[in-house]
Chain A
Amino acid sequence: MRPDNSPMTTDALAALEKAGFSRRGFLKGAGALIVGFRMTGGAVKLAAQTAPGVPLDRVDSWVAIAQDESVTGYSGKCEFGQGFETVQYQLIAEELSVPLDRVKLIYCDTSVTPDQGVTSGSQSHMAEFGPSGLRQALATAREALFRMAADQLKVPVDQLTVQDGIVSVKSDPSRQMSYGQLVGGNKFNLALNSRAVPKDPAQYTILGTSVPRFDLPAKVTGQAQYVQHVRLPGMLHGKVVRPPSVGAKVVKVDESSVKSLPGNVRVVVKNDFVGVVADKEWQAIQAADALQVQWSDGVALPAQPDLYDYMRKQPSRDAYTVLSADVDQMLGQAARVVRATYLHPYQMHGSLGSSCAVADVKGSGADATATIWSATQGVYPQRDSAAMVLGIPRDKVRVIFVEGSGCYGINGADTVSYDAALLSQAVGRPVRVQFSRKDEMTGGENYGPAYVVDLKAGLDDKGQIIAWDYESWTLSKGGRPNATTPGNIITGALAGFATPALVPARGNPPANFGNNGNAAPAYGSGCVGATCGGTGTIRSERVLTHTIASPFFTGPLRSPSRLQNTFANESFIDEVAAAVKADPVQYRLRHLSDPRLIDVLNAAASAAKWDTRASPKPGNAKTGIVTGRGISCVLYEGDNGYCALVAEVEVDQGSGLVTVKRLVISQDSGPVSNPDGLRNQMEGGVLQGMSRALREEVRWGDQAIASTHWRTYPVFQFGEPLPVVETVLINRPDKPHMGAGECTITTAASAIANAIFDATGARLRQVPFTARRVLEALGAR
């Protein structure tokens, strides 16, 4: 949202109408429907407008230049606090050579922005700077503008130059035309040209600088409108009533239990979806509390303490990331085999704000339309799946993204959008649903799944690893919804849509090496057939993942599988280094081949003034407070950003309390678009990773989730000792863009575990490292 974000003015509405929005039936005469639409600057005559389908291959889908010289970009990559909105402003200004304050950006609205899937997985840079994204559209537009100017000014294109959106003749700058004049209020009417040449990053003057975030002035002054603040005329407030135990079904709903309550309470039931609607939010909360619902028993859950054993015994769907033929043979002839098992719990996204959405479903049958205001990561997937939930055609559904609380993956944003849509459809009025904290934590989120990872390394007589054997078990249920799977999230399933069942299957040898979940270690060569995609030197590798059915909904959590696998792999390499009494950095370097991974590792170590020696630290007492340092590194997703982390910790061996004192992170994501923005992401990522490592675990009892709020799902809070966090950026303008937001979080647990080992000689193999577990590990020394 821009600082001057405000509800639409009639002027702006008129401009939109002129630009063709009125073609969309559901917009007719409904000014309020556009509340939350990020459109600024009053009456702007948009020169070009995207067709209802918003085709990805048309320049007009991405950019419009108005006669007032403003440039409007359209994008499918949304802002969640990660700062990518500002990067997109920079990209538009840079590629078209216009001042930043002339740029507008409209993103994530199914009626006007291109379908770029979901904003997730550190994919935004790759998408927008890639061969079919925003940058390519801008490069095509720029070349077209130069051609138009060459025509009008009657000089060859190579005689022209541009500054601040004015194209002029190099030899005679008085001969010039502005973009607005050139475009003349028209569309580009051009296909994206894959051969258009974007600016050379070495020439960047706006990208690569720390442009301040556009959204911050509004956010810090309370002006920013989040999805929680979408307020429509006639809007009612809805609340959901979720099953008290996992898998419970509605037996009976006693509507009379809320009859006497104020606020025109309505009860809505669809299969096992139950909700109430009232005039005011407080009335809806009270009605939801008072509503008597008889539920069946839930399903039996695996006892939490037995989870990891249980996981090993279930039928599974198996997948190999890499499978060298000689792993057993190499392990058999190894001078020594090191083994360890790592355990990672279910964790929540734990967004600070409980999720919220507003929906306005009008009419029925063929005339039905729906508009949903949502903090979803994917407006198009939500549009398509919500259409199924509502039983109306998808082209009658519009999903408008409005920023919510930072999400870190699939929090309750999608499911609460279905809730609002179902309630609005039932009562025929706009409905806002604000989850309670418990709704979010027990009936909103798709959790990040637990993992068990068994690791084996075969060493030769010099202590070099000659074989790496990884076998893991994880769980899955649902995930991100797409056009056919509303049952992937809680409300879809409650409303009667099937959650696709996990089908057990044997894994086949992989066709190529894709280390998307970071299951393979950084130290393997990743050879499948004749091609090797890994970052290391170990040629004999087996990486096998078993996925079993999860009792709880699961989905991508920053950063899916990479969090759990990097904990295991980067702890294990440390264990092996310790087993051969090698320095953890040097030992890693002995097995790495990728120069960029080597560089980030060295950069973090040198910035942290790493003292080169084996762990544990000699001379540390077995009692009292001791300190240590640990390291971790990863090539995120095998191709999407390099980072390394040094953690320094203090361990109180009396209480088991671990305090992280210092975190030094280095990162290489290719060209740095916004150095300060990248640092912000690295800092937040590593601290969230620390919180996950030390505190976070979803807990449950016989039938129900027991982590219902911040006391039963504790996270790192203000008031606790804050580590010093230092960042080192490695800028590579000559390389392709990579992801930036999810690398550092994956390295936190292992770097901290390795530092605890360095300090104490005790190895933490189960996240989170609670005081009790630390004491147990100390006892086992």
Chain B
Amino acid sequence: MAKLSLTVNGRSYSVEADPETPLLYILSDDLQLNGPKFGCGLSQCGACTVLLDGEPVRSCVTPVSEAAGLEVISIEGLGTPEDPHPIQRAFIEEQAVQCGYCISGIMLYGKTFIDRNPNASEQEIVESLTGLLCRCHAHVRMVRALKRYAQEVRA
């Protein structure tokens, strides 16, 4: 057990944990966040995605010790139902969700890529999501939502 300081969605936390504990369990069980979710635990699906100093990572295979001292952002950190982030608004406007379990991966990988490449083509956007799964197969709408977000970033 070790004492670790975490900054998550702009707030500081101190947690006591085995430093090897995957970050996901700390976020979900200890900090009670619902955004990053357990899908596979094997870095195969993306449901657990968070941003670590601005880079999307799979929190199911990231030891919490690696996150200490860095800034962690989950989808909760982007916006709220009352005041959604533009990318969240794009997903609502396109109704681009079914169960929503996969959303952290699609949203955070998509956002990171589009913020850096606002002029990306549809194909490039799709490719930036390589390795992510949505088992409701809401792919078509999700890509539409990301294109809408890209439009907004460009504007």
Contact = CB atoms under 8 A, between A and B. Distances in A.
A440 B25 CA distance: 18
Contact of A222 (B34, B45, B139): B34
A525 interface: no
Contacts of B21: 280, 282
B6 interface: no
B136 A688 contact: yes
B106 interface: yes
B62 interface: no
A213 B95 contact: yes
B84 A405 contact: no
Interface residues of B, number: 62
Contacts of B38: 228, 353-354, 356, 434
A403 B97 contact: no
A385 to B, nearest CB: 24
Interface in A717-731: 717-719, 721-722, 725
Nearest to A375: B99
A246 to B, nearest CB: 22
Interface stretch (A127-135, A161-169, A509-517, A707-715): A707-715
B120 to A, nearest CB: 14
A7 to B, nearest CB: 10
Interface string A671-688: 000001100110111011
Given A280-B29, A353-B47, A680 B138 contact: yes
Given A282-B21, A353-B38, A719-B130, A82 B98 contact: yes
Nearest to A727: B140
Interface in B89-136: 91-92, 95, 97-104, 106-107, 126-127, 129-136
Contacts of A222: 33-36, 74-76, 103-104
A210 B95 CA distance: 10
A250 interface: no
A718 B130 contact: yes
B29 A231 contact: yes
A416 B11 CA distance: 34
Contact of A437 (B40, B80, B102, B129): B40
A484 B83 CA distance: 49
B37 interface: yes
Contacts of A711: 44
A353 B37 contact: yes
A405 to B, nearest CB: 4
B45 A352 contact: yes
B14 interface: no
A687 B140 contact: yes
Interface string A70-111: 000000000011110000000000000000000000000000
Given A220-B91, A687-B137, A718 B126 contact: yes
Given A220-B92, A710-B40, A719 B129 contact: yes
A26 B77 CA distance: 37
A680 B131 CA distance: 22
Contacts of A677: 95
A216 B100 contact: yes
Given A215-B100, A216-B95, A718-B106, A221 B137 contact: no
Given A217-B81, A229-B28, A722-B139, A715 B37 contact: no
A353 B39 contact: yes
Contacts of B22: 282
B53 interface: no
Contacts of B148: none
Contacts of A324: none
Interface hub of B42, B76, B135, B138 (most chain A Cβ within 10 A):
B135
Contacts of B102: 352
B37 A221 contact: no
A680 B141 contact: yes
Nearest to A225: B34
Contacts of B39: 352-354, 405, 437
Given A217-B81, A221-B81, A436 B100 contact: no
A210 B139 CA distance: 20
A629 B28 CA distance: 47
Contact of B18 (A81, A282, A356, A717): A282
Contact of A354 (B40, B76, B141): B40
A711 to B, nearest CB: 7
Contacts of B130: 717-719
A352 B139 contact: no
Main secondary structure of the interface of B (DSSP, over half): loop
Nearest to B29: A281
A226 B140 contact: no
A685 B138 CA distance: 9
Interface in A173-199: none
Interface in A136-155: none
A231 B32 contact: yes
A590 interface: no
Nearest to B60: A437
A438 B140 CA distance: 29
Given A81-B99, A228-B37, A403-B99, A722 B92 contact: no
A224 interface: yes
Given A282-B18, A722-B126, A220 B100 contact: yes
Nearest to B145: A220
Interface in A37-94: 80-83
A351 B41 contact: no
Contacts of B74: 222
A323 B36 CA distance: 54
Nearest to A80: B99
B51 interface: no
Contacts of B35: 221-222
B68 to A, nearest CB: 16
Contacts of A220: 75, 84, 88, 91-92, 97, 100, 103, 107
A338 interface: no
A352 B47 contact: yes
A192 B132 CA distance: 48
Nearest to A263: B18
A170 interface: no
Contact of B135 (A231, A403, A406, A719): A406
A314 to B, nearest CB: 32
A770 to B, nearest CB: 19
Contacts of B140: 683, 687, 722, 725
Interface in A379-423: 403-406, 408
Contacts of A80: 99
A581 interface: no
A729 B123 CA distance: 28
Nearest to A690: B137
A219 interface: yes
Contact of A221 (B44, B88, B135): B88
B143 A722 contact: yes
Given A4-B81, A216-B97, A223-B81, A718 B25 contact: no
Interface in A221-279: 221-226, 228-229, 231, 237, 262
B79 interface: yes
A688 B91 contact: no
A217 B25 contact: no
A437 B41 CA distance: 7
A212 interface: yes
Given A83-B98, A212-B92, 16 more contacts: A4-B81, A81-B98, A81-B100, A81-B101, A220-B84, A220-B88, A221-B75, A221-B84, A231-B29, A280-B29, A353-B101, A691-B137, A709-B42, A716-B137, A718-B131, A721-B126
27 contacts: A81-B100, A83-B98, A213-B97, A220-B75, A220-B92, A222-B33, A222-B36, A222-B76, A226-B37, A229-B34, A281-B29, A352-B134, A353-B37, A405-B99, A406-B98, A434-B38, A676-B95, A677-B95, A680-B98, A683-B137, A683-B140, A683-B141, A684-B138, A710-B40, A710-B133, A715-B135, A721-B126
Interface of B: 1, 17-18, 20-22, 25, 28-29, 32-42, 44-45, 47, 74-76, 78-81, 84-85, 88, 91-92, 95, 97-104, 106-107, 126-127, 129-141, 143
